[in-house]
Structure 1
Amino acid sequence: MQSLESRSDRRCLLLAASPAEVFAAIRDPGRVARWWGPVGFSNTIHCFDFVAGGHWRLTMHGPDGRDYPNESRFLEIEADRRVVIEHVSGHHFVLTLELVPEGDGTWVEWQQSFDTREHYESLAAFVATANQQNLERLAVEVLHVPAVASCRS
């Protein structure tokens, strides 16, 4: 079995906000629609059943004018701590969001894991940029300012 690290993209940002403040931007579909996806994308959320086992369907509208339908399901939700999402349409992956308190802030740890290293490597450059932009857009949604730092040691 290939290691999780060899088939995953991991990003993190320290936000000057509590885990509850960050979680509020993750659980609210209206707020998610504003920050989800890379720069230039907008979203229409069709279904957002934010419970373990719940479904999430959205259409991402690209800056190129194309629409990208997506379907996922929530595997795990721990308020103010952790959300695990399985993307079931198109490229299959599991996205884990961990909220780790530190002082007056929160580390948002974002890990997108694919089924195989080969699948991940075929998308790695795009995924790295898209995930970083996603985190930065989340920071703006939570704080209305850019994030403080990236990755803790």
Structure 2
Amino acid sequence: MSPESAIKDVEASQAEVSTDRPEIIITRRLDAPRDDVFRALTDPKQLDQWWGPAGFRNTTHEHDLRPGGTWRYTMHGPDGTDYPNRTVYHDVEPPKRLAYDHGWDRDPFEAMFEGTITLTEEGDGTVIELRMTFQDMTDRDRNVARVDAVKGGKETLARLAAFVEVHA
């Protein structure tokens, strides 16, 4: 299954938009070992193949996987629009957890949200939880409306599922 064909299975990714906290939580069970999933999340050559919603491609410019390190990359949209992104890691716990600030790649850097990815072994697979925490409810709702963060997160995890099932 290719990362693009996995989009038909996007509903296997579960989303929760909190009513009392400024966060979005997306979870999915992946048919791959946790070590393989962690590599797919942290190896720029792998990330470039699947990261982002349906139809997006990526180019990594810098990747420094350590607390304080940066992942700078451009997401290339299906319509040809380029979206420069920056992720600044503040916690890296292989193969269990990543915590980071995420935003547009511009100076001064302003985080759009704080992300936490948690990987939990379940049988011969892995449960991934992607938690996006925004400054406040207004900020969260604006991002949900502007970039369709729930749909994009579900599609991203669907693409990851397809990628790790083929490459595990």
TM-based fold match above 0.5: yes
Q: Measure the CA separation in 1 of the matches of 2:131 and 2:60.
A: 22
* 1:4/1:115 CA distance change after superposition, 3 Å: farther
Q: Identify the residue that residue 163 of structure 2 maps to in structure 1.
A: 141
Residue 27 of structure 1 aligns to which amino acid in structure 2?
T
CA deviations over 1:95-129 (Å, ceiling 9, x no partner)? 11100111111100111111111011122250100
**Any stretches of 5+ residues in structure 2 without a counterpart?**
1-17, 105-109
Residue 160 of structure 2 aligns to which amino acid in structure 1?
L
Please give the residue correspondences for 1:1-150 in structure 2 after superposition, counting only pairs within 5 Å: 6-89=21-104, 92-125=112-145, 126-144=148-166
* 1:107/1:5 CA distance change after superposition, 3 Å: farther
Report the CA distance between 1:79 and its aligned residue: 0.4
Q: Measure the CA separation in 2 of the matches of 1:17 and 1:59.
A: 27
Runs of 4+ with >3 A deviation: none
Q: Measure the CA separation in 1 of the matches of 2:79 and 2:144.
A: 21
TM-score normalised by L of structure 1 = 0.87
Give the secondary structure class of the aligned counterpart of 2:67.
coil
**CA RMSD after TM alignment:** 1.9
TM-score normalised by L of structure 2 = 0.79
Q: Identify the residue that residue 149 of structure 1 maps to in structure 2.
A: none
Identity of aligned residues (%): 36
Report the CA distance between 1:14 and its aligned residue: 0.7
Report the CA distance between 1:4 and its aligned residue: 9.7
Residue 69 of structure 2 aligns to which amino acid in structure 1?
G
**Any stretches of 5+ residues in structure 1 without a counterpart?**
146-153
